[in-house]
Amino acid sequence: MGSAVERTDEHVREYLIYRGFTSTLKHLDNEIKADKEKGFRVDKIIDQLQQFVQSFDLFGLKEYWLYLDRRLFCRLEDVYRSTVNKLRTSLFRYYVINTVQVRPRPPKTQEFFQKQASELQTQAEWRDWFILPFVPAPEQNPTFAPYFSRQWADTFLVSLHNFLSVLFQCVHILQVQKMTSLTEENEQFRQMVRNPFFSLTQQNPRKVEVEEVEPTPPETSADPPDSASCGGGAGAGGGGLSAEQPFIKLSQEEYGEHHSSIMHCRVDCSGRRVASLDVDGVIKVWSFNPIMQTKATIMSKSPLLSLEWAAKPDRLLLLGSGVGTVRLYDTEAKKNLYEMNIDDTHPRILSLACSPSGSSFVCSAAALSRSGGSESGPRLPIPVSGQLLLWDTKTVKQQLQFSLEPEPVAVNCTAFNHNGNLLVTGAADGVIRLFDMQRYESAMSWRAHDGEVYSVEFSYDENTVFSVGEDGKFIQWNIHRCGVKQSEQDLPQDATGPFVLSGYSGYKQVQVPRGRLFAFDSEGQHVLTCSSSGGLIYRLTNGEPALERVLSLGGHKAPVVTVDWCSAVDCGTCLTASMDGKIKLSTLLAQKS
């Protein structure tokens, strides 16, 4: 809804400028700056609350929350009043914890309890908190320790963000319904003016009751230490799913800082940062919790083809180029730590995979494609040569080169299992190779696809491997019995590529798969895939068909070319990136059966 309000404001500004109403325009700008609802932008409201907390402005915090309560929360049904009260309690606790964490401790902590004593002393959830100002080290006290954790603060802010998001979505639906009814009434009035007998012909004129429509977001757990839930909102923003289905879509936000097609989009191990790479070689490092914010922008003179987050420490990013180099980039210090020259004869770094131990990474280097190195058009059927190398991240030296039988071939995708003892690769010759990383040798290999292997991943129990290939098949392989399929499913072309974006005058942009084409949820029971209009979530079955569609995330106007799925507690975050440079971040709530 926030984007619609912003567009409306811009139209009003353009009209005032066109008419020359400069004085009115100044008044409008001043009113917008003072707007407490922040144009229904949830991130702006969260920012305002955090500013009050960080500046220890208790009066401003109380007044702002009271305004939101009078303007929005009071319109909800009584069943949601407890949710609002929990959010308010958590907000005040967030304020108190912030006052305690400042050294030397300011008198704001005692001031809070003095001013709020008459209100809070009758509330059971605050009974133990009045001793907080007198506890020497409250962060070590069992009662208060959970509230000092980053996890509690993040969970509270996500809960509040999700609650407001769903609330504003419901308000938006209410406004649409009102506009629809007004349009219908206006049309009826026009008919009556044109034809005085119109009202007589309408035996049962349609009457739309909109005053009874109330925004009804579902209850959100707002007190993180007492509940593991991350957010609320199964109603209007939930994609119309029934209670029997596994996920509810709480919200969907857009990251639009890229100006060309996305190649890779990956969440780091902690689930706090995202790195996205476009075809122009621009990398954006950004966070989405509690608000979407760009942390770093990396520009490269040479083309970039691959990226991977390091496991330890998770702030480091590996960047593979098209000129035979791999860079190790510190996203917090915003600088390159090392640049490694891999191989001049195989300059295209197609895939990077960091070992979970963090001590090494695998690098796939390939020769120039036979079509002259173009990364945008379809590949020729003759696979190019390549190398698979193991590098030590501490010594920044190559440890060994893996043997690729029957011939050296370009490896498109790589993935480690949870402890780094196994490595699976998919190559341009259609062969999947499984490597024993304790012996550094191939354990088995088999012909998996007709054409290239585009993407491979271990299953949740790591007894099988899933792959997607150029033949459009999604196959599950048993790693204990070489080349034995456990299941197979045909996927549509918009899930496997090559991806095509059509333009004016017959123009077509074609992109071969480079990033991850599928990703699993935290329990390995559902898989997220690409499609022409957004991500698709399937349930993995043990029968036929192997995939059962359960949810379409939607939201894209161009083909989605890579996906990722980050799961934390009950909230899952799905990333879908498309050829128009847009990245959609969909927050899901898992429904436990």
Report how far residue 8's alpha carbon sits from residue 416's, in angstroms, rounded to the nearest whole number.
49
CA angle 551/6/276 to nearest 5° reads 50
pLDDT of residue 130: 86
pLDDT of residue 15: 78
Report how far residue 251's alpha carbon sits from residue 166's, in angstroms, rounded to the nearest whole number.
7
3-state SS class at 71: helix
Residue whose entry in the numeric block shows the structure tokens 């629809």? 180
Report how far residue 314's alpha carbon sits from residue 199's, in angstroms, rounded to the nearest whole number.
70
pLDDT of residue 235: 35
pLDDT of residue 376: 47
Report the candidate in 344, 298, 292 with the shortest Cα–Cα distance to residue 319.
298
Contact call for residues 149 and 73 (beta carbons, < 8 A): no
Determine whether 310 is exposed, middle or buried from the number of CB atoms within 10 Å of its CB (0-12, 13-18, 19+): buried
> What ranges make up the beta strands (E) of 35-187?
none
Q: What is the dihedral of CA 437, 440, 442, 443, to 10 degrees?
A: -50
pLDDT of residue 188: 62
| Mean pLDDT of successive 10-residue stretches along the chain, which has 593 residues | 62 75 78 61 82 87 85 77 87 88 74 84 84 84 85 85 78 48 59 48 39 38 38 36 67 92 91 92 89 90 92 87 94 91 92 89 88 47 85 90 89 94 95 94 94 95 94 94 92 91 80 93 92 93 85 94 78 89 90 64
pLDDT of residue 362: 96
- Flag whether the pTM goes above 0.85: no
What tokens does 237 get? Answer: 């923003």
Contact call for residues 427 and 411 (beta carbons, < 8 A): yes
Backbone angles phi, psi at 399, to 5 degrees: -90, -45
What domains appear along the chain, each with residue ranges and CATH number? 40-167 (no CATH), 264-368+383-511 (2.130.10.10)
pLDDT of residue 6: 66
Cα separation values, 346 from 18, 316, 317, 388, 477, Å:
59, 24, 21, 10, 30
Report how far residue 90's alpha carbon sits from residue 225's, in angstroms, rounded to the nearest whole number.
10
